[in-house]
Chains A and B, each alone.
Chain A
Amino acid sequence: MNFSIWNGLGRLLLVAVLYLWYQSIFVLPPDIHQGEVYRIIYLHVPAAFASFALAFGLLGTSLYGLATKSPGSEFASKAVAEIGFLFTLLTLVTGSIWGKPTWGVWWTWDARLTTTFILAVLYAGYLLLWSSLPPGLGRIKSTGILGILIAVDVPIIYKSVTWWRTLHQPPSMMREGGSTMAPEILSHLIVSIVALTLVSLYLVWRRADNLKTEWMIEVKTLNQLGA
């Protein structure tokens, strides 16, 4: 498939997410325990899932970069880290907004919150490292190692609610004995997770394409200047 077809599919996904949000806010019934405020989970959980998926994406592009030393892997890694950082921040902020009316606090140093905060710091650190190094093998190696370390945080975030029983509730989707969620809520949540993760990949693709074009312009200009 060519560029315009992928781009059209990406735009369609962006519209689909708006429709899913409309359903999340206005159509689905309130939760029996949490009331209306639970509607935030249809944004919070998919954003968290996308940020975790992108951490694994960064692991893939980092390993590819370390194996092939290809400059293309650098653009892909940077794009994944930028969008991953954005989705991690969105996870933290929407979680905090949900936490205030539910727990009574905007923030607490709970195990799940702290490990997710560490993910945001790691993404930010990755982007700082990428920007502070000149292009080339050194940058591919240094950022590649950090990219692998970032993915290690994801299973820790996932298991944090069972390893340390603090404020954040234990898993309610994937747990022994099946999910405790109502089928209507669970199916909508799964569709929202898939849609937002695909949107995050679309944004990564567009950003990586821009980074590649930027690099091509730079190379052409330098060649014309005879550098």
Chain B
Amino acid sequence: MGMNTDPWPYIASAYGLGFLAIYGIYALLMLQSKKLKKLKIIAEKG
């Protein structure tokens, strides 16, 4: 089962991508939420 292959680059790639996907989307959602809060205040003021 691929015992001669160094597994750590694969492990690091998988978790690195997992981190980017989950925490990246979380960061984008937080930024979007902040932007929308500001826009909501502007829309309410008219």
Contacts and interface: CB of A to CB of B under 8 A. Distances in A.
Interface in A15-73: 17, 21, 25, 33-37, 39-40, 43-44, 47
A83 to B, nearest CB: 8
Contact of A25 (B11, B21, B29, B30): B11
Contacts of A179: none
Contact of A210 (B1, B8, B36, B46): B36
Q: How large is the interface on B (under 10, 10 to 19, 20 to 34, 35 or more residues)?
A: 20 to 34
Q: How large is the interface on A (under 10, 10 to 19, 20 to 34, 35 or more residues)?
A: 35 or more
A176 interface: no
Contact of A217 (B1, B3, B43): B43
Nearest to B24: A86
Interface string A74-114: 00000000010010011001100110111110000000000
Contact of B1 (A40, A102, A216): A102
A191 to B, nearest CB: 16
Interface of B: 1-3, 5, 7-8, 10-11, 13-15, 17-19, 21-23, 25-26, 29-30, 32-33, 36-37, 39-40, 43-44, 46
